[in-house]
Each structure stands twice: as structure tokens, then as C-alpha cells.
Amino acid sequence: MKYEIILTVNGVAYPVEVDAHASLLHTVRDQVGLTGSKEGCDDSECGACMMLIDGRPVNSCSYLACQADGAEIITVEGLAPGDDLTPLQSAFLAEGGVQCGFCTPGMLISATALLAANPEPTPDEIRVGLSGNLCRCTGYDGIVRAVSKVARG
Amino acid sequence: MGATYTTASSVEDAVAAMAAGARPVAGGTDLVVGARQGKKPLPQALVGIHKIPGLDGIGESDGGLVLGALVTHSALVSHPIVRGRFTGLADASAIVGSHATRANGTIGGNLMNASPAMDTGAPLLCMGATVELAGPGGRRTIGLDELWAGPGQLSASADELLVSVNIPAPSPGTGSAYVRLQYRRQMEIAVVGAAAVVTLGGGAVMDARIAITALAPTIHRVPDAEAALVGGPPDEARVDAAAAAAAAAARPIGDVRASVEYRRAMAVVMARRAIMTAVARASGQDMAIPASDSTYGS
């Protein structure tokens, strides 16, 4: 059975038609057309698909699109307008927090949620706040430095 | 007709859908994640309960707490009364999954999933928590010890929805703690766990509740361990006897995460840490939350 729902992604309402079991991630990538959020593990281990739903960080691969009907969804594309970067995104670049880039959208979403809840996290709190976001390139230090830099700012 | 999904706008809506065969979904951190992992396919009929108003509150009642079914682990661990007087629950909610699990996973889902390794179960059991279930025939309240029937098995029927968790007021001089064996601090499931709620009076243990996690088909209290701790000062001999009794009650499985022997050996360690942390808190000492992290490696 198909359901007509409205996904409000980065402030824009997208009417979409989905199956009951459709994931939010696949719906946003395939129907809304925003491919910044990645599918890594597809079972909430890696965090590459992280989105904010009404401000909460959510592994969108394991979240039903139907449940997000009417919610405010933010993906990496919506963190800053146009080609601008948020201070956090700039810090990731400056501190070497990006290598292949696959984990970066999820890292940025988790770090954004962390800083909203705790504007001055300690390095340990940053590591806890990014647990569930896996990076196989950077060794994490550059990512933690980037978040620390913004937290101190 | 394929899979179906509806959104419940009230408890009655949800119960009606469940009576017709739908399974409830809130944060989805067990149901949907489990399906993605291939453990069990998603149910053909789903009812979203995440928008039911009034189920996401943490309220005080005669010194106790009433938790709505949709209260998240993040909400629990950041709540000052939970941290201050129901600290063992904060210990548990602080280490469930990842930050994203805690932002979405609910107390109702955690308890109704009936995993013998769930973190919140042992502290709530020791605190004497009851749950209110709503079904087609009305509502009933049962103790947590009556709720779980086995791994993933409930005494509740499939058309009963957990509505709230009620935790009675702790006596003065009470401290609580939950500690688990973990190979990593986050994104982990308890290998072995233990909770303790200890009430001190005049330097002696007046009351003790001790429960074990991931050591039996269900989380359960250990009366022998409780009896060993009560009746005198919480000295080393008493704590050791209680921890040993807790471990003696273990009936663990061996799996990819730990052997039967290792779980047995660690049961006594986790029980001792939980008891000692609860005693310290009962004496007014400020012990870090989550207790699992601060005692890790000791």
C-alpha cells in the first residue's frame, strides 16, 4: 500500500508517495533527490545517514519515512544556505576532519546536534557525541579538533 | 495489499490498531534496526505511536516518578531528579546505544522489547517500578518482575501497549547504581550487568535490592544477595558475600560476546561495583554518571 506523505527537508515541503516500510534515507535520496546523506551499513551502526528530525539526530536508514510525515528534517545540504559553510563545516576542512568524505555528512549532523545540546563539550564529550558515526580514514582526531574549535569559538 | 502503516493519535487508537494485528513503533531503534540487521522482518502492519500526546512526560508523584512510554533515554539522563534520586536509571539510560539511539529510543520500547540485556531493566526492577498497560479491555498495572517471560517474551498480550512506568519514592538514605561489562563505552550492549539499590541507616544497610542483567533468560532480582547485604555495615565481607550470591544466581548463555565461564566470572565483579557505587551514593558521595565508565578497568 502506498502512502502520500509530506517530508519537509531543509525547510522545503516535498510531497512523496511511499510504502509503509520505506526508509527515510532512501526516500530522501531517491525521491526528494538530496544525496548528501549516505547509506553505509543500513542498520544504524555507522551514522553516515544521520539527519535531524525536529532537532533529534536520527539514523535515517532505520527510520520509517511514514513516521517523518510532517516533521522538520535537516540534512547536510541544509546546514548552511547555498554554497556557504557553517563554522563547523569550515573547521572540518581546516582541521583535516575530511578525507574520503563519506562519513562527513553524518559527522556534521551529529556534531551539530551535540553543539546544540551542549555548546561547550569537552573532547571526551565530543567523542561520546560522535559515537555511532564511523570514519575509516581520518582516525577521528581531526574531527574532534574541528568540533572543539567551534565549541571554543 | 502489502504492508500498512497508520499513525495513532491516542492510546485508544493504538490499542485498536494493535488488536487488529499491528505492531507499535516509536523510535524504531529496536524494531526497525532489528529488521535492517536481518533479525526479524518488519511487521506487515505498523502503528506509529510517536505522536500520541501526553506520553512523553516525566512527572513527580509523591516523591516517585511517572515516566510516559515515549520518554527517551536522552530525556531521562538529562533530568535532574532522575540523576539525583533515581541515579541507577540515569547510569543505564546514559549508555544505551549511541547518542542517536538515546535521542529516539523510548523507555516503553526498551522495557517491552524484553531483552535480558537491556540496560534500564535492572535499575527499574530494583526501584520497584510498575508498568501501566492499556489493552482493549482497559488498563492494568503490573510489576516489572511480572512483565518479562523470557528473552523477547512478555506476559503482556500483543494488543497491550505500555503507557507509563511508575517508580515509587525511594526511602531516605537510598542510593542506586547500574554497572555493565562493556568492551567499548558506546554502541554497546551489556555483556553482563548488575544494579543495586541500597538504603543506609545509622551506618547499616537497612534495605537492599540487587538485580542481574544478561545473566539469565530475564533480568531478575537475587534475594540471597540482598539478604547477604542487609543487617550490618556495608563492609567488604558483606559486599563480597552479596556479590558472590548475585553471581551464583547467574544462568548465562555463551555467545559471540562472551563465554558462559567469562560471564559467570564477571557477574561477581559487576555486582560488586554496582553495590559499592550504590552504597557510596547512599552515603551522599557524588559518583559520576554513568557508573560503568568511571569504574571501567578498576
Are A14 and A66 found together in one domain? Answer: yes
Query: What Rg, from alpha-carbon coordinates, does chain B have?
Result: 19
Confidence of residue B39 (pLDDT cuts 50, 70, 90): confident
Which range marks the domain in which residue A137 is found? Answer: 87-152
| Mean pLDDT of the residues in chain B | 96
From A47, A61, A114, residue closest to B36, measured CB to CB: A61
Domain B174-291 top-level CATH class = alpha beta
Q: Does residue A19 belong to the interface with chain B, where contact is any CB pair within 8 Å?
A: yes
Q: How many domains does the structure of chain A reveal?
A: 2
Q: What is the tens place of the pLDDT at every residue in A5-51?
A: 999 999 999 999 999 999 999 999 999 999 999 999 999 999 999 99
CATH of B58-167, one of 3.30.465.10, 1.20.1250.20, 3.40.640.10, 2.40.110.20: 3.30.465.10
* Residue-range domain boundaries for chain B: 4-48, 58-167, 174-291
Which pLDDT does position B298 carry in this prediction?
40
B99–A129: do the CB atoms touch at under 8 Å?
Answer: yes
Per-residue pLDDT of B122-157, as tens digits, reads 999 999 999 999 999 999 999 999 999 999 999 999
Neighbours of B156 (CB within 10 A): 20
Report the residue of chain A nearest B43, measured CA to CA. A21
Chain B CB contacts of A1 under 8 Å are 1-4
Does A10 share its domain with A41? yes
**Whole-number pLDDT of residue A153:** 63
User: A73 and A100 share a domain?
Assistant: no
Residues A99 and A52 in one domain: no
Q: What is the dihedral of CA B284, B287, B291, B297, to 10 degrees?
A: -120
ipTM of the complex: 0.96
Which of A78, A97, A127 is the C-terminal boundary of a domain? A78
**Residues A110, A74 share a domain:** no
CATH code assigned at A74? 3.10.20.30
pLDDT (average), residues B243-250: 98
CB contact under 8 A, B101 and A132: yes
Find, in chain A, the residue whose alpha carbon is nearest to that of B42: A21
E-assigned strands of chain B? 4-7, 23-25, 45-48, 58-61, 64-68, 130-135, 138-143, 148-150, 153-154, 161-167, 174-181, 192-201, 204-213, 220-221
A88 at B interface, C-beta within 8 A: no
Binary contact (A58, B104; C-beta < 8 A): yes
> Would you say B76 and B89 are in contact if contact means Cβ atoms under 8 Å apart?
yes
Among the three residues A78, A97, A114, which one is the final residue of a domain in this structure?
Answer: A78
Region of A15 (left: φ > 0; alpha: ψ -120 to 50; beta: rest) is beta
Mutate: best of B1, B4, B23, B36, partner A, most A CBs <10 A: B36
Helix (H, G, I), strand (E, B) or coil at B63: coil
Structure pTM? 0.96
The verdict on A67 touching B (C-beta cutoff 8 Å) is yes
Closest CA–CA distance from residue B4 to any residue of chain A (Å): 5
Size of interface A-B (CB pairs under 8 A): 87
Q: State the pLDDT at residue B1.
A: 65
Per-residue pLDDT tens over the stretch A124-145: 999 999 999 999 999 899 999 9
Picking from A78, A106, A131, the residue at the C-terminal end of a domain is A78
d(CA B108, CA B162): 6
Contacts of B259 (CB under 8 A, 6+ apart): none
